[in-house]
Chain A
Amino acid sequence: MMGGCTRSQGRTDQITVSGSTTILPIAEQAAELFSEKNPTASVLVSGLGSSAGIEAVSAGTAQIGTSSRDLKEEEMPLGLFDTPIAYDGIAVIVSPENPVSDLTVEQLQNVFAGVITNWSELGGEDRRIELVNRDEASGTREAFKKIVMGDVPFDPRAAVLPGTGQVRDVVARAPGAVGYISLGFVEPRFTNVTVKALQVDGVTPSEKTVGDQTYPIGRRLHFLTKGKPSGLAKAYIDFVLSDTIQQGVVVDAGFIPVAEGGAQ
């Protein structure tokens, strides 16, 4: 506490950024780099969940609220200004040996609900579908659930793995397996094990199709401010939208940068 007090002497400005845990890594690293560049500014970042972030920014306890979901109908009148800072696409992955390459959202829902249990029902080989799910703490699971599953519960018999890397690794080597991971992790990075990303509703997942929202399993990551951003909040948001963060932190975190001039 004492250290914090003395260090903040001479700092003219401080903002609080709070909300989505999905966005937390981006916001945090951006805040660190931002403070390095602007030693007089301090950006406090916390992750409480998207709804809490929206609540905080509209109540004025945070200058920027972060959210990994779009605003709901009833949140529209809050007068929040929306700046998308990145896209997140979720790829449905199978083993490269699997001949199935295109599913609809409805088929995916039935697969992950445990209604469709054999690949032959989807135009593939006669092979049991081995479901790979994520743990309930996962933001990817949350997004997949919201977009694909709706109110339909996941099949509880699915294997539940605690990390993107594990899902990728397991699916890559099991011919009957299907799982989902953030689009940024489909291409091999530290391994030569490959997985195949399925088309969904005929659309191949890519930075472009997630960006223009033709690929159905995608979401935007938002920074929300009360009215147009100004002052330090604007400086911080501009910094997050700069190439330094977009091509560095955002890409590293497995997300897709917003197109140039993404600020609306």
Chain B
Amino acid sequence: MSENNEHHSAGTLQLVSRSTYMKENLLKAVFFMCAFVFVLAVALIFIFVGWKAMPIVTEYGLGKFITGTVWSSSTGQFGILPLIVGSFIVTLGALALGTPLAVGTAVFLSDVASPKVRSFVRPAVELLAGVPSVVYGFFGIILLRAIVAEFSGTLGFGAFTAWIVLAIMIVPTIAVLSEDALRSIPEGIREASYAMGATQWQTIYKVVVPAAKIGIIDAIILGMGRAIGESMAVLMVVGNAPVFPAGIFAPLSTMTTQIVMDMPYAVGLHRTALFAMAAMLFIFSMFLVATVRLLSRLRD
């Protein structure tokens, strides 16, 4: 490093540094533009969605929109409570199924697996995280739905099928991020635990996982964000009935799936209602991101 610096100051310092200076500034401007364009895009989307959704507040009534229990475009009723409930049933169930599996995978990768085993399990998990959601949906509707239909004696559409499909989708996300959190726990902490006479299981259970707790919760919230926003895979297996479901094997609908179903033909207030639902999803995900930021601050 110091040798390099001397080199600079030795002869061509000014020429090099001027072009370097310009390059630096140019790059700074480029990076600023990138960030600016992106932030602008997000802001514009938010403004556009909010603007398009406005008539729901002014013409329909926000209270009626959020607490209404009937979603029926042909009668002009746009109550999204069943859809909000549907979104949460589907998301929370998937988290309940997926989180233990994901955290287990993360612990296995960070503390149990030999480097050799890890070297092929981790890429496999990462690969799963990158599979397009429509592939999971296709798998869900062709294979999973038929199996669920067989043993439940129903059509196989409903929360249960969606839970399994979504759990498979979010496990890689949660597992990879949780593993990063677990690996960031200094080795010294593990060694201290072993030195106290703790077994490997005790060390994992009492020391490592609690120490990485906030990072793991971060991971779960990001998984939740993916689950609540997922539309394609869910659309194919929930059955799309905008009602409070009669059970875990009964058709239901979520906010995202209803938007996808109605989008092609919605006009007027109906379309407005879809935009308002999009705005709700925006607010939900902002809330999730805020929670993650808050938790990270807590960790520091």
Contact = CB atoms under 8 A, between A and B. Distances in A.
Contacts of B253: 160
Contacts of A160: 239-241, 251, 253, 261
21 contacts: A127-B153, A128-B154, A130-B154, A135-B240, A136-B73, A136-B74, A153-B75, A156-B241, A156-B243, A157-B243, A157-B250, A159-B157, A159-B239, A159-B241, A160-B240, A160-B241, A161-B239, A170-B156, A174-B149, A174-B154, A175-B153
B264 A130 contact: no
Contacts, number: 62
Contacts of B240: 135, 159-162
Given A136-B265, A137-B265, A174-B149, A157 B241 contact: yes
A177 B155 contact: yes
A132 B141 CA distance: 15
Interface residues of A, number: 22
Find the residue from A128, A160, A161, A176 having the highest chain B CB count within 10 A: A160
A158 interface: yes
A153 B72 contact: yes
B70 interface: yes
Contact of A156 (B72, B149, B154, B157): B72
Given A137-B264, A161-B240, A162-B261, A132 B155 contact: yes
Contacts of B242: 156
Interface of A: 127-128, 130, 132, 135-137, 153, 156-162, 166, 170, 173-177
A24 B44 CA distance: 37
Contacts of B149: 170, 173-174
B88 to A, nearest CB: 19
Contacts of B71: 156
B155 A174 contact: yes
Contact of B251 (A127, A158, A162, A166): A158
A107 B157 CA distance: 25
A176 B264 CA distance: 30
Contacts of A136: 73-74, 262, 265
Contacts of A157: 241, 243, 246, 250-251
B72 A176 contact: no
Contacts of A175: 153
Interface string B141-170: 100011001000111110000000000000
Interface string B214-258: 000000000000000000000000011111001000110100000
Contact of B155 (A127, A130, A137, A153): A130
A174 B241 contact: no
A158 B153 contact: no
A136 B241 CA distance: 12
B75 A158 contact: no
Nearest to B153: A176
Nearest to A137: B265
Nearest to A162: B261
